[in-house]
């Protein structure tokens, strides 16, 4: 897939947490494939506008909302459809802050933030958009998990990202056949390596050394898989989780 085929022309893709990092790259991939894109942001409208300015095509919008609350998701979808005049038929649940605070020291407020912005947000977005997709007879939901789903030392983040996989499988059963639901689990991403180093200085080097592919994933690698899951080639793939980690999860040590 070259990314130049406008196979998503006529579709409206909502990407949560799209004002920076992986979300911005996914928004670019969607727009390159012809979709109109809603760039969701939580705090920085200017950052979202900067992403819009880089997207090819026309009709893209930025909508601020907290994807972890029912009111925020309702506003996000309502405003997206009002501004574009289209039904949201692609949702990429990308928003999801990180934590590896040990449970014994984990404040309940931090637990709620990680859980709500990851798992609860994905459930709320699916709940709010499923009817429109079903009525249209076509829809795609892609949840973003993480390599942390396969680890047991990343605290509530591991719990949340593991739950994203189960949620994906359950939604696939409930929403088929019109709506296809899949999940992508990126390993350590190159561009975020310095962020991870602040938590564990040796993690990136250890992970790279044991990765069968010999390198870490880039944001573009992950965005390409998200895009592929929205393509006709994956019409019969639902309830699946695709790790994008170069095989790191399989290595021992």
pLDDT digits (tens, 9 = 90+) for 156-192: 999 999 999 999 999 999 999 999 999 999 999 999 9
Determine whether 157 is an active site residue. yes
Q: How confident is the model at residue 1 (pLDDT cuts 50, 70, 90)?
A: very low
Q: How far apart are CA 60 and CA 37, in angstroms?
A: 5
- CA-based R_g, the chain, Å: 17
pLDDT digits (tens, 9 = 90+) for 41-76: 999 999 999 999 999 999 999 999 999 999 999 999
Alpha helices in the chain (DSSP H): 21-32, 45-54, 70-84, 108-115, 121-136, 155-175, 193-199, 203-210, 219-229
Determine whether 123 is an active site residue. no
Q: How far apart are CA 21 and CA 116, in angstroms?
A: 20
pLDDT at 27: 98
Active-site residue, from 41, 123, 150, 157: 157
* Verdict on whether the full-model pTM lies above 0.85: yes
Active-site residue, from 41, 123, 150, 161: 161
Strongest mean pLDDT among 25-34, 146-155, 194-203: 25-34
Domains of the chain: 12-239 (3.40.50.720)
Q: How far apart are CA 151 and CA 129, in angstroms?
A: 31
């Amino acid at each position: 897939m070259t990314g130049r085929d406008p196979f998503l022309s006529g579709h409206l893709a909502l990407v949560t947490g799209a004002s920076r990092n992986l979300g911005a790259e996914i928004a670019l991939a969607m727009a390159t494939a012809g979709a109109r894109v809603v760039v969701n942001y939580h705090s920085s409208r200017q950052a979202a506008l900067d992403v819009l300015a880089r997207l090819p095509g026309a009709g893209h919008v930025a909508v601020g909302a907290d994807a972890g609350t029912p009111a925020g998701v309702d506003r996000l979808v309502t405003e997206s459809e009002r501004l574009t005049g289209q039904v949201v038929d692609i949702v990429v649940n990308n928003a999801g802050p990180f934590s590896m605070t040990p449970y014994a020291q984990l404040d309940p407020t931090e637990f709620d933030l990680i859980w709500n912005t990851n798992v609860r947000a994905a459930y709320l977005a699916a709940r709010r958009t499923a009817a429109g997709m079903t009525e249209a007879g076509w829809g795609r939901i892609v949840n973003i998990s993480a390599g942390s789903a396969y680890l047991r030392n990343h605290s509530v983040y591991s719990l949340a990202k593991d739950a994203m996989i189960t949620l994906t499988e359950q939604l696939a059963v409930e929403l088929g056949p019109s709506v296809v639901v899949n999940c992508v689990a990126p390993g350590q991403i190159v561009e975020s390596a310095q962020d991870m180093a602040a938590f564990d200085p040796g993690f990136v080097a250890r992970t790279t050394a044991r990765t069968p592919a010999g390198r870490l994933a880039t944001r573009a690698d992950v965005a390409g898989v998200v895009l592929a899951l929205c393509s006709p080639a994956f019409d019969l793939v639902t309830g699946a989780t695709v790790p994008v980690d170069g095989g790191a999860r399989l290595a021992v040590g």
